[in-house]
Amino acid sequence: MNIKKIFIVIPILVLIFFLSISALCSQCDLSDIEVEEDQYGEGVSTAGEEPGEEVSEEEEEVKKEEYYIAYFEVGIDENSMHFEHRVANIYAVSPDGNDRRLVFTDLNEKYDLGRIYSISPDGSRISCEFFEGGRGAYSALRVIDINTGEVTTAVEFDYTETESKELMANIYEDPTWSHDGGKIAFEIVSNPYSDNFSYEGISIVDIDTGNIQDVDLNIEGNSVGSTTFTSPVLFSQDDSGLFCILHTFYPKEEDGAILNYFSRNEKLLIVYISSGEVNTILDINQFKNGEMSFDNFNLFTQQDRLVFQVVGDFEEDGDIWVSDSDGNNLFKLTENPDLREQQPSILDMPDTVGKLAYTGVKRYGTISSQLNSGDIYIINIDGSGQDRITDYGIEAAKPVFSPDGKYLAFIRYIYDNNMEYVESSQIEVCDMESGEIKIVASGFNIFDLIGWIKTELSVN
């Protein structure tokens, strides 16, 4: 197999393998799941109403919206027609853990629910991938309406009726939402399973109309093709531009032979959608020597500032950095040489100083190169108010604030004694006022924390 194909094939195969193993490990039927009271507390409900169930006008008048935590589970169900009776579910749980409801299941879907990309800025929709688990002849970017259960296909790549793979295309990296929640930008690669694997371009789809707009990039001095790619990571504050990562594949050589390739994020660009004009915002060479890379970009809209991580290999330090959206006023926010600070998540609320949470991963031996978990920290965007909210050592990751700032959710991985694999996972919530941390979901079939959604509740 040509080495360039690895970077598309491996992530898909790893995902299928992980989901299949998770399904085989889980010996429970999720089609009618109940939550144990002694695990989550008194008054816990079973899975909520089926998505799409109609409510009367009278009931609609007494609906209210609350923020719930969404997470991804993979298990088995004897009624599933997927491989090994695998079934993937999205659940939502209240911050106190007393109410859990099913948001979506792929039990009756033709294709598998795969990667969960992100939640729309208003918390009402989830973008995700559906794929064929066999020869990879089908994939689609779809959007799930959280309160109705309606699924919209935004972009589809269907090659199920052809034997040739020479004209195939697929989405690469994670698509990103516009701030108004109406559009999604994504990167396409062509011929992902052939010797002609290459960058195809960036497009923007309007979720409500289905219209797709191609973005022409006028990049001078940069080769975008078989080894260099440009992935959208954020819309600009007014949605007129796209922040994009320019990343290149480099060979890993030993004794003159190419053993593998690695990808490095080298530049952050701003692409103006209407004109295609491209400006460089940040360059990785502004930071440290060595094989450093930046990632996990956030835009704090209240101050039009970027928050992101800069991390190298396991021997390198890692830090959270902040800059203006044009790249000016760049400064390092974290300074602990014993930690690789990463996974920043911002609290973007009006009339606030600006707060973010991040994961501090310990630097020792080669463990930090294999784990992305540690302890959860919070800090103000001006560098003040730093605080560690967990004392787990290596287990916590992926912090995310509730949009109202009342809670901070994160996932906790329970490792085996040798720290070689995850035995189970927990979704935990920190009350930002009291500092109390509570487990709201737990199990060995929890695949990932998605984030905070806005769900409709009936008021008694």
pLDDT tens-place string over residues 406-429: 999 999 999 988 888 899 999 999
pLDDT-derived band at 28 (thresholds 50, 70, 90) equals very low
Q: Which H, E and C letters describe 375-438, residue by residue?
A: EEEEEECCCCCCEECCCCCCCEEEEEECCCCCEEEEEEEEECCCCCCEEEEEEEEEECCCCCEE
pLDDT of 442 strictly over 90: yes
Quick one: 226 exposed, middle or buried, by C-beta within 10 A (0-12, 13-18, 19+)?
middle
Higher local confidence (pLDDT), 322 or 43: 322
Answer yes or no: are the C-beta atoms of 145 and 128 closer than 8 Å.
no
Query: 159-201, pLDDT tens digit by residue?
Result: 888 876 566 888 988 999 999 999 999 999 887 666 566 788 8
pLDDT band (50, 70, 90) for residue 459: low
- What residues are paired with 199 via a beta bridge? 189
Q: What is the mean pLDDT of residues 121-143?
A: 91
Tokens of 75: 């298990």
Lowest mean pLDDT among 312-321, 335-344, 419-428: 312-321
Question: Which pLDDT score, from 0 to 100, does residue 398 have?
Answer: 97
Q: What is the DSSP letter of 87?
A: E
Q: pLDDT tens across 278-287, in order?
A: 999 999 988 8
Cα(309)–Cα(339) distance, rounded to whole angstroms?
12
DSSP 253-313: EETTEEEEEEEEEEEEEEEETTT-BEEEEEEGGGS-SSS-EEEEEEEETTTTEEEEEEE-S
Token pair in block for residue 359: 């994961």
Confidence band for 43, pLDDT divided at 50, 70 and 90: very low
In degrees and rounded to multiples of 5, residue 188 shows phi and psi of -115, 140
In the predicted structure, residue 346 carries a pLDDT above the cut 60: yes
> What's the rounded Cα separation, in Å, for the pair 432 and 331?
27
Q: What is the pLDDT of residue 228?
A: 79
Total residue count of the chain as it appears in this document = 460
Compute φ and ψ for 203, nearest 5 degrees.
-135, 160
* pLDDT, average across residues 348-368: 78
Domain-wise residue ranges, the chain: 164-285
If you average pLDDT over residues 366-380, what whole number do you get? 79
pLDDT band at 264; cut points 50, 70, 90: confident
Query: What does the pLDDT read at residue 221?
Result: 46
Region 282-303: what's the mean pLDDT?
A: 86
Tokens, residue 271: 């692409």
Provide the mean pLDDT of the chain.
Answer: 82
Distance CA 460, CA 446 (A): 31
Distance of CA 10 to CAs 3, 379, 384, Å? Answer: 11, 36, 42
SS3 at position 25 = helix
For residue 390, give the nearest of 430, 431, 424, 446 by alpha carbon.
Answer: 430
- Exposed / middle / buried, residue 166 (Cβ in 10 Å: 0-12, 13-18, 19+): exposed
DSSP 30: G
- pLDDT top residue among 382 and 19: 382
**pTM of the full structure:** 0.83
Position 188: which residue type? Answer: I
Residue 324 has pLDDT above 50, yes or no: yes
Q: Extract the runs of DSSP E, i.e. beta strands, from 196-276.
A: 198-206, 212-215, 228-235, 241-254, 257-272
Give mean pLDDT, residues 120-124. 96
The pLDDT of residue 369 is above 60: no
Q: Which of 16-25, 34-43, 112-121 has the highest mean pLDDT?
A: 112-121
Half-sphere exposure of 49 toward its Cβ, with a 13 Å CA cutoff?
13
